């Protein structure tokens, strides 16, 4: 791709010369950070121009984990797209399942049973908690606070034990189905969740006590990677990173779904929009999620977990083997799949990193005509290069951890 | 409902360049003429009753295989959100196959820069006036635009030359008043 004609190349432009600056270009050292550097969390790369240890300019690159999620969806029936969504934000896979399933449900115009909605709320909040725990733990270990990593990953593993029992997999759970959830909760789920919630509260307060008044931690995070509210909004930031700038915007409150408006929880906001705020917004959001889980568990009443809409849900096996209609229904769904009506839909949910949206175009067949995933990480990463300019390399690492880029979601 | 409010406000204001306003799946959509996109976006962002201050996403769609077709081969959708009024809007434009291009809005929203690059990369839509219309997800030497319907899913390309990113770096440094001398000598 050649640059546009109207851009003056630095070689032709002499205006750069009359700018008086202490830094001469000969003093600059160019360093690639990533894509395979342990501190760059996966596959992120920035090229930094360093003057001493200060980043004068940075250019971010992405795409190392690009695997064509959107194209792949066009080749698969709707129900089979769900496992692909697991691999978007693999730290909180169920939330991606929910985002996609909700968009298809909106397209088909169906509502899911109450028990399925509550199960989705509980599993989504559990996923939000582990996502935040990973972010906090990894961020703190990047800036040298190793103990917190054990505290957060310890309870994270306990949550994964529950999810594994529930769906058979730790990370790529593939638990949500269009029209409901794959299977009902197991016996003793409620008790285990309550017990793990107590452990999480304990772990979070342990981390809080270790960091809150820790001089080194405060120096490393306060006023580091600061972004103003206006800039964050213009950069399309959503979720905890936007709230850390003091903008009280949460889709669970602003555009409630799954009866989130009836749950009692607070939107956590920061004041400065620095790394410290982003870490602590997440920390307190874990506690709010636990409040939601607690209320949701009380609401759990027996009932179906899958819609009875014949266009969407497979009939119970007793009908498949016992009646001609059930058998036909089963084969029709297996062979022709879910066929939403022609149209376009955009639906978004509050995922752990912000607004996760799916724009789906249906042409009336069993394959989506076009799927576009709006990933919150992309917006965060687009602003990252500007965020680290003027700081040191170590600050860049602290900032990167706090905006929690998940490469699977970023590169799709 | 906030969504129907948008329709009323838009109809009252009668913005030039808007061809059609319709509602689909709880979302207000407007179709604009491609030439008017910048003016419409500026209005939507600046108007105190609308204040669409957040660009959520830019979606490009290739309608070439869509049953009964659409007005043109390419469709482009800008998803906007107004935080002040809690409203959403989808601004659509249709682009001809012969001229898949539209004015860039990178100076109105910070994230439009990368979103437009993604649309160029995946769908081959040119954004006029974009300062750095490079591929975003794919490699710089990639040929074709993978999300177009005529790009087969199994077409693979062997690309091994890494991108040194110095073209972007040069521009960035120049903005900061630093001219890269080293590179000039080499060439």
- What domains are defined for chain A? 69-309+338-379+390-411 (1.10.645.10)
Average pLDDT over residues A225-252: 90
First to last CA, chain A: 22
pLDDT of residue A24: 59
B139 touches chain A (CB under 8 A): yes
Average pLDDT of every residue of chain A = 86
Measured in angstroms, the CA of B108 and the nearest CA of chain A are apart by 8
Q: How far apart are CA A23 and CA B179, in angstroms?
A: 10
- B178 contacts in chain A (CB < 8 Å): 16, 19, 21, 23-25, 28, 56-57
So what's the pLDDT on residue A196?
Answer: 93
Q: What is the mean pLDDT of residues A142-168?
A: 89
Q: Which candidate in B137, B171, B175 is best for mutational testing of the A interface (most A CBs within 10 A)?
A: B137
Yes or no, beta carbons of A247 and B57 under 8 Å apart? no
- State whether B181 and A26 contact (CB < 8 Å): yes
pLDDT above 50 (res A12): no
Q: Identify the weakest region by mean pLDDT among A195-204, A235-244, B45-54.
A: B45-54
Residue A251 has pLDDT above 70, yes or no: yes
Cβ contacts (< 8 Å) between B146 and chain A: which residues? 68, 71
pLDDT at A371: 92
| CB atoms B169 and A25 under 8 Å | no
Residue B185 is predicted with a pLDDT of 47
| pLDDT over 90 (residue A122) | yes
Question: Average of pLDDT values for A237-257?
Answer: 90
pLDDT for residue B23: 80
d(CA A26, CA B179): 10
The per-residue pLDDT for B165 is: 84
Q: Which of B26, B83, B136 sits opposite A63 (nearest CB)?
A: B136
Average pLDDT over residues A94-121: 91
Nearest to A355 among B56, B140, B176 (CB): B56
For A12, A380, B117, the CA distances from A48, given in Å and listed in that order, are 24, 18, 21
> Could you tell me what percent of chain A has a pLDDT over 90?
30
pLDDT bracket for residue A3 (50, 70, 90): very low
> Which pLDDT does position A301 carry in this prediction?
87
Q: Judge whether residue A11 has pLDDT over 50.
A: no
A236 interaction partners in chain B (CB closer than 8 Å): 54-56, 109-111
Query: Which pLDDT does position B3 carry in this prediction?
Result: 60
Res A33: pLDDT: 86
Nearest CA in chain B to A108: B25
Residues of A within 8 A of B133 (CB-CB) are: 1, 4
d(CA A242, CA A238) in angstroms, rounded, equals 5
**Which residue of chain B has the CA closest to A47?**
B165
Query: What's the whole-number mean pLDDT along residues A142-165?
Result: 89
Beta partners for residue B89, in sequence order: B80
For residue A226 the two structure tokens come to 């600061």
% residues pLDDT > 70 (chain A): 94
For residue B166, what pLDDT is reported?
A: 82
Report the alpha-carbon distance of residue B99 to residue B118 in Å, rounded: 18
Cβ separation of B77 and A254 shorter than 8 Å? no
Residues 70-109 of B with CB under 8 A from A: 77, 79, 83, 86, 90, 109
Closest residue on chain B to A55 (Cα): B173
Mean pLDDT, chain B, integer: 84
Nearest Cα residue to A293 out of A46, A64, A139, A122 = A122
In the CATH scheme, what is the code of domain B2-160?
3.30.460.80
What are A331-383's pLDDT values in tens digits? 988 888 888 998 899 999 999 888 999 999 998 888 999 999 999 999 999 88
3-state secondary structure chain A: CCCCCCCCCCCCCCHHHHCCCCCCHHHCEEEEECCCCHHHCCCCEEEEEEECCEEEEEEEECCCCCCCHHHHHHCCCHHHHHHHHHCCCCCCHHHHHHHHHHHHHHHHCCCCCHHHHHHHHHHHHHHHHHHHHHHHHHHHHHCCCHHHHHHHHHHHHHHHHHHHHHHCCCCCCCCEECCEECCCCCCCHHHHHHHHHHHHHHHHHHHHHHHCCCHHHHHHHCCCCCCCHHHHHHCCCCCHHHHCCCCCCCHHHHCCCCCHHHCCCCCCCCCCCCHHHHHHHHHHHHHHHHHHHHHHHHHCCCCCCECCCCCCCCCCHHHHHHCHHHHHHHHHHHHHCCCCCCEEEEEEEEECCEEEEEEEEECCCCCEEEEEEECHHHHHHHCHHHHHCCCEHHHHHHHHHHHCCCHHHHHC
Mutate to test the interface with B, among A108, A358, A379, A412 (most CBs of B within 10 A): A379
Q: Determine the average pLDDT of the residues in A213-234.
A: 88
Every domain of chain B and the residues it spans: 2-160
Task: Say if B113 is an interface residue toward chain A (CB within 8 Å).
Answer: yes
Minimum distance, in Å, between the CA of residue B72 and any CA atom of chain A: 16
**What number is the average pLDDT over the span B115-128?**
91
Query: How far is the C-alpha of A248 from the C-alpha of A22, rounded, in Å?
Result: 41
Partner residue opposite B109 with nearest CB, options A3, A236, A364: A236
Name the residue facing A343 among B25, B65, B109 (closest C-beta): B25
Q: With 70 as the cut, is the pLDDT of residue A6 above it? A: no
For B151, the 3-state DSSP assignment is: coil
B169 Cβ under 8 Å from any chain A Cβ: yes
Residue A278 pLDDT > 70: yes
The complex's ipTM?
0.87
A403: tokens are: 């905006």
Tell me: pLDDT of A290 over 90.
yes
Q: Summarize the confidence of residues A113-122 as an average pLDDT.
A: 92
Query: What span, in angstroms and rounded, lies between the C-alpha atoms of A363 and A360?
Result: 10
Query: What is the sign, positive or negative, of the torsion defined by CA atoms of A220, A226, A229, A232?
Result: negative
pLDDT of A292 strictly over 90? yes
Check residue B1 and give its pLDDT. Answer: 43
Mean pLDDT of B176-183: 67
From B160, B107, B161, select the one nearest B131 (Cα to Cα): B107
Chain B residues with beta carbon closer than 8 angstroms to that of A4: 129-131, 133
């Amino acid at each position: 791709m050649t640059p546009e004609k109207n851009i003056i190349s630095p070689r032709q432009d002499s205006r750069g010369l009359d700018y008086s600056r202490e830094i001469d270009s000969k003093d600059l050292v160019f360093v690639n950070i990533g894509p395979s550097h342990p501190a760059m969390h996966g596959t992120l790369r920035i090229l930094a121009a360093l003057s001493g240890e200060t980043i004068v300019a940075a250019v971010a690159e992405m795409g190392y984990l690009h695997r064509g999620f959107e194209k792949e969806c066009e080749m698969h029936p709707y129900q089979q797209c769900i496992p692909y969504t697991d691999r978007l934000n693999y730290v909180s896979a169920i939330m991606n399942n929910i985002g996609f399933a909700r968009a298809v449900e909106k397209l088909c115009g169906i509502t899911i049973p109450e028990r399925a909605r509550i199960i989705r709320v509980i599993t989504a909040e559990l996923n939000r908690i582990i996502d935040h725990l990973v972010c906090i733990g990894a961020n703190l270990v990047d800036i040298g606070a190793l103990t917190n990593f054990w505290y957060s990953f310890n309870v994270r593993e306990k949550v994964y034990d529950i999810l594994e029992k529930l769906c058979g997999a730790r990370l790529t759970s593939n638990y949500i189905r269009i029209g409901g959830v794959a299977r009902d909760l197991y016996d003793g789920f409620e008790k285990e969740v309550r017990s793990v919630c107590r452990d999480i509260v304990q772990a979070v307060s342990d981390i809080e006590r270790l960091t809150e008044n820790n001089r080194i931690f405060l120096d490393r995070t306060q006023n580091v990677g600061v972004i103003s509210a206006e800039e964050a909004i213009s950069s399309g930031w959503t979720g905890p990173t936007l709230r850390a700038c003091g903008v009280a915007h949460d889709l669970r409150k602003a555009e409630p779904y799954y009866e989130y408006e009836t749950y009692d929880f607070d939107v956590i906001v920061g004041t400065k929009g620095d790394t410290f705020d982003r870490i602590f917004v997440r920390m307190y959001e874990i506690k709010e999620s636990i409040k939601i889980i607690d209320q949701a568990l009380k609401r759990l009443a027996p009932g179906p977990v899958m819609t009875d809409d014949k266009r969407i849900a497979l009939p119970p096996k007793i009908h498949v083997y016992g009646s001609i209609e059930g058998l036909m229904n089963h084969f029709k769904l297996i062979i022709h799949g879910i066929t939403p009506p022609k149209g376009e839909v955009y639906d978004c949910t509050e995922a752990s990193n912000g607004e996760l949206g799916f724009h789906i175009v249906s042409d009336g067949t069993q394959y989506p005509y076009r799927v576009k995933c709006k990933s919150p990480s992309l917006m965060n990463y687009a602003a990252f290069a500007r965020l680290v300019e003027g700081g040191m390399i170590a600050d860049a690492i602290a900032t990167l951890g706090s905006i929690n880029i998940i490469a699977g979601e970023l590169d799709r | 409902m906030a969504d129907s409010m948008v329709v009323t406000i838009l109809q009252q204001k009668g913005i030039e360049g808007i061809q059609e306003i319709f509602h689909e799946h709880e979302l207000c959509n407007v179709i604009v003429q491609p030439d008017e996109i910048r003016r419409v976006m500026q209005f939507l962002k600046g108007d105190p009753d609308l204040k669409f201050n957040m660009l959520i996403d830019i979606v490009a769609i290739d309608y070439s295989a869509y049953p009964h077709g659409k007005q043109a081969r390419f469709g482009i959708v800008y998803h906007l959100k107004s935080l002040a009024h809690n409203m959403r809007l989808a601004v659509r434009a249709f682009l001809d196959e012969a001229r898949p291009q539209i004015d860039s809005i990178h100076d109105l929203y910070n994230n439009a820069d990368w979103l437009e690059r993604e649309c160029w990369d995946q769908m081959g839509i040119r954004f006029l006036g974009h300062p750095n219309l490079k591929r975003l997800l794919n490699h710089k030497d990639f040929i074709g635009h993978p999300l177009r319907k005529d790009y087969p899913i199994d077409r693979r390309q062997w690309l091994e030359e890494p991108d040194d990113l110095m073209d972007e770096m040069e521009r960035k440094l120049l903005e900061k008043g630093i001219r890269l001398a080293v590179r000039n000598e080499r060439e």
